Structure 1
C-alpha cells in the first residue's frame, strides 16, 4: 500500500474545533472521597482513553523517574491522577494493571518502558491507536492531533509550551488541566468512531505469503 499522509497542522487548523470537556467533567481527585468516586467510575468501564505526562528533563543523562501524571477518560469525563499522591499511584496501578479494561492512546511504547518501574507492576490492556492508522498506510506515528482530523474532521489544538511544562507541580494550572484531559479524552472519543472510519477506508492489501526457505 502506498504511504498515505495525514492532515498537516496547517490543514487541521482549518477544521472546526474538537469539543473539549467542560471543567466540571475533569476530575483531579485529592480527598479520600474523590478517590473512591474515581475508583468506582474507572473500574466500571471497559475502555478508557489514556495518556501520561512527565516533567521535562533538560540535562543530558538525567534520571527519568517515569510519568508524574496519568490521564484516563471516557467520552464524557476525564480523571487526572497526580502520582506524587499515594492514593493516585494506587488507583493508577489498579486500573493500568487490569487487563479487562482497554486503555487506548497514542505513542505508548515509552509508557510500556517507564510505567512498570513507576507503578511497581506491568500495565495490561494498552492499545496503541497509532497501529490502527499504520494498518491503513499512514505510518507508525500518526498521533492524536492528526487522528482527530482524519476521523472526526476536527482540530485538536496542542500547546508546545504546555506539553513541556512542569507536570510534577502540586497544583496544575488550568492550561495543564485542559491539555492533559484532552490527550486522554480524544482517544476515548476516537475509539467510538474508529469502526465506521475503518469500514470506509480502501481495502487492506493481502498479507504477503512467507518466503520459502532457501535450499542449503
Structure 2
C-alpha cells in the first residue's frame, strides 16, 4: 500500500491531515445518470458465508490479498430512538470475488471479528464511521487497517463526501447502480434474496475497484 490514509483509533491522534481546498468538480446526479453502467459482480462471483466452516474457507481466500473492499449492512430502523442491533452482514471483496458474511452463527461471527482485527490487510470503503462503531459494539473488536475512501478524495481536492457513486463516475466514467429497495430491506433475514446479495457484494466490490484505481491497494 502506498501512502494510504488509515484510520488510527488511538485517542488524541489526528487520523488525517487537513484537507486540501475542494477545487475539483464532481459530477452531478443528472450527469451520472447519463453514464454507462458500471459492471457489477454476478452471483457466480459472490459467496454467501453463514457458518464457521464456510468462514474458515472465506478468510483463507481473503488473506491471499493485501486489500479488500469493505462494507456492512444492518436491518433498518424506522422509529425515533430505535436502536439497531446490526451489523447483520459484513461484505469483503477483492477485484475478482466478494464474500457476504451473515453474522447469525457464533462461529462465523468470531471468524469475521478476527479477520477485521488484522491490521496487515487494508479494508477500504465509503462512510465507514458508523460501520466501525457497530462492529465494535456487536463483535467486540476494533477493525484495523480501515481506509475511508471519502477522506482520500477529500485530500485530492474533491468535496467532503464523494461516495461510491461519485467515485465510480470520476474514476471510471460509469454509473454505479444502488437499489433503494435492497438498501432498505431486512438484512437480518435468515435467507437473503439474490437482490440483497448482489447489492451487498457490489458495494464492497466497487470499493475494491476504487482503491485499486487510486493506486492505494
Interval containing the TM-score (normalised by the shorter chain) = 0.7 to 0.9
Are 1:182 and 2:202 an aligned pair?
yes
Are 1:139 and 2:159 an aligned pair?
yes
Going from structure 1 to structure 2, the CA distance change for 1:87 and 1:6 (only over 3 Å counts) comes to farther
2:59 corresponds in structure 1 to 39
Which consecutive unaligned segments of at least 5 residues does structure 1 have? 197-216
Are 1:119 and 2:139 an aligned pair?
yes
- Partner deviation per Cα, 1:149-202 (whole Å, 9 max, x = no partner): 001111110111211111100011111111101100001111111139xxxxxx
1:171 corresponds in structure 2 to 191
Compute the TM-score of the two structures, normalised by the length of structure 1: 0.85
Q: Distance in 2 between matches of 1:3 and 1:166?
A: 39
1:18 corresponds in structure 2 to 38
Q: 1:149-168 alignment to 2 at 5 Å?
A: 149-168=169-188
Shift of 1:44: 2.3
- Partner deviation per Cα, 1:66-125 (whole Å, 9 max, x = no partner): 311000000100000011122321121011100001000000111222211111111111
Q: Are 2:72 and 2:90, in contact at CA under 8 Å, matched by a contact in 1?
A: yes
Q: Which moved more, 1:187-196 or 1:152-161?
A: 187-196
Which consecutive unaligned segments of at least 5 residues does structure 2 have? 1-20
Question: SS state of the match for residue 28, structure 1?
Answer: strand
Q: Are 2:32 and 2:174, in contact at CA under 8 Å, matched by a contact in 1?
A: yes
Are 1:67 and 2:87 an aligned pair?
yes
Question: SS state of the match for residue 49, structure 2?
Answer: coil
Q: Distance in 1 between matches of 2:115 and 2:100?
A: 13
Question: SS state of the match for residue 91, structure 2?
Answer: strand
1:91 corresponds in structure 2 to 111
Q: Distance in 2 between matches of 1:46 and 1:139?
A: 28
1:30 corresponds in structure 2 to 50
Going from structure 1 to structure 2, the CA distance change for 1:43 and 1:2 (only over 3 Å counts) comes to closer
Are 1:100 and 2:117 an aligned pair?
no
